[in-house]
Amino acid sequence: MYGSSSEKSSVARGEGQRVLILADDPGTSELLSTTLELAGYRTGTTTTVGEVVAQLADESVDLVIVDTTLPDLETFDGGHRPVVAHRPPVLLLTAYDELGKILPELGLGELDYVTKPLRIAEVLARVQVLLRGRVLSRWEGVLEYGDLVLDDVTCQARRGQRVLDLTPAEFRLLRHLLGNAHKVLSKEQIARYVWGEYRGDNAIEQLVSRLRRKVNQGGPALIHTRRGFGYWLGRPGSKA
């Protein structure tokens, strides 16, 4: 059902970051904890939201992996997430047919997902991106990739010294691409995040094309098309 823990991946190893796994399926917990430990992370497992809140209050946690099938998950979701001093990024494990409910909430690299059945290489890749996003954020609300910087507080973005003149839709698209660096996003995923609904291929292609011209101007291309799949942001051949 799940990918093998011996599945090969080019994802860099962890550096002892603490990952807390919230899942009520023992097989899922064991697979993830074993794989992540082998990859250089420190892990803990729990089966209830209450236990997660208690651990977040008592110790430093760098990332939480959450199975969205948990019955008490509504207390951890949306505006009802527990109030804690340190709120780590979250990786959701979800069924493909549940994506419509969570995609509009994704952004800024603080919340991401993988679909079931789990593919270990993908889990490791998303863990790395989420943790890297924490490092790349110089202060609250800022994301950067190389010389590309997005400030979510001032709603401005720049490439090097050049300020990008972005529309609200272009800003949201860039925010989504930056928060999911090196991950191919489908047209449906982009539309749901930018507009909250699907608006057709032509509208998405035009939006991406406008943003690509503004971002790629005067420097190495950062926004790319994966024909037949979608769009991604990053430097080809690079993981950071």
What pLDDT shows up at residue 38? Answer: 92
What pLDDT shows up at residue 134? Answer: 53
What pLDDT shows up at residue 237? Answer: 60
My answer on whether omega of the bond before 220 falls inside 30° of 0, hence cis, is: no
Q: Which residues of 20-45 are buried (b: 16+ CB within 10 A; e: fewer)?
A: bbbbeeeebbebbbebbeebebebbb
Is 88 in contact with 63 (CB distance < 8 Å)? yes
Boundary residue ending a domain (136, 170, 198) = 136
Pairing verdict, β 162-164 and 230-233: unpaired
Statement to judge: residues 129 and 169 lie in one domain = no
Tell me whether residue 109 is in a domain: yes
Element (H, E) at 13: none
What pLDDT shows up at residue 108? Answer: 39
Pairing verdict, β 111-115 and 42-46: unpaired
> What is the value of pTM for the model shown?
0.50
Sign of the CA dihedral with 236 first, then 141, 175, and 59 last: positive
Number of domains in the chain: 2
What is the spatial distance between Cα 190 and Cα 197, in angstroms, rounded to a whole number?
9
What pLDDT shows up at residue 114? Answer: 87
Statement to judge: residues 69 and 147 lie in one domain = no
What pLDDT shows up at residue 76? Answer: 52
Tokens of 93: 């494990």
Statement to judge: residues 127 and 148 lie in one domain = no
Statement to judge: residues 99 and 159 lie in one domain = no
What pLDDT shows up at residue 72? Answer: 60
Length of the chain: 240
Statement to judge: residues 124 and 194 lie in one domain = no
Boundary residue ending a domain (136, 153, 178) = 136
**Domain span holding position 27:** 18-136
Statement to judge: residues 83 and 184 lie in one domain = no
Tokens of 108: 């800024």
Q: What is the mean pLDDT of each run of 10 residues along the chain (240 residues)?
A: 43 75 92 93 89 76 86 52 59 73 47 86 86 53 82 86 92 90 89 82 93 90 93 72
